[in-house]
Amino acid sequence: MATGPLLWLLHGPNLNMLGQREPEVYGSQTLESINAQSVLLAQSLGLRLECFQSNHEGELVDRIQQALNQNVEGFVINPAGFTHTSVALRDALAAVALPFVEVHLSNIHRREPFRSHSYFSDKAEAVVCGMGPLGYESAIRFFHKHLLKPTTPSR
């Protein structure tokens, strides 16, 4: 059985289209491939990672709430378009009070002005943007190094 602290990687709306549209903005890697790489990286660091994408705000809120019953220790989240609109997702993250790192593939600060505001950044442990899929890797490594308590190996 897989062991180690459990993280959830959450993706917001339209990120299921990665690699199929707008590669000049979001790159050519698919979400499936980003998830697979992230799971492998987490395993190599002794962590467990589960991935979830939804185009629906309520489903993401439900998922965040479920973390409390699932021994989740934190989130890596790209809220996508909800970054700039969702008080509901912000409230859900505040309610569960687990650490999270906010990731954006693109540099939201050099795009349209409305993308510069995030409902999440002031509550996030860290924010990564503009690094493409490398942002997810950085977030997982940051969790491993700075946010998770070391576990004693089982005998």
How far is 8 from 3, CA to CA, in rounded Å? 14
Q: Is there binding between residue 17 and ligand CA2 (CB under 6 A)?
A: yes
49 or 105, CB closer to ligand CA2? 105
Q: Which of residues 62-101 bind ligand CA2 (CB under 6 A)?
A: 78, 80-81, 83
| Identified catalytic residue from 11, 26, 119, 136 | 26
- Burial category of 87 from C-beta neighbours within 10 Å (exposed 0-12, middle 13-18, buried 19 and up): exposed
| Identified catalytic residue from 11, 104, 136, 144 | 104
46 or 81, CB closer to ligand CA2? 81
Contact residue for ligand CA2 among 26, 75, 100, 119 (CB under 6 A): 26
- Residues near ligand CA2 (CB under 6 A), total: 16
Q: Name the site residues for ligand CA2 (rule: CB under 6 A).
A: 14-15, 17-18, 21-22, 26, 78, 80-81, 83, 104-106, 108, 115
Q: Which of the residues are catalytic?
A: 26, 104
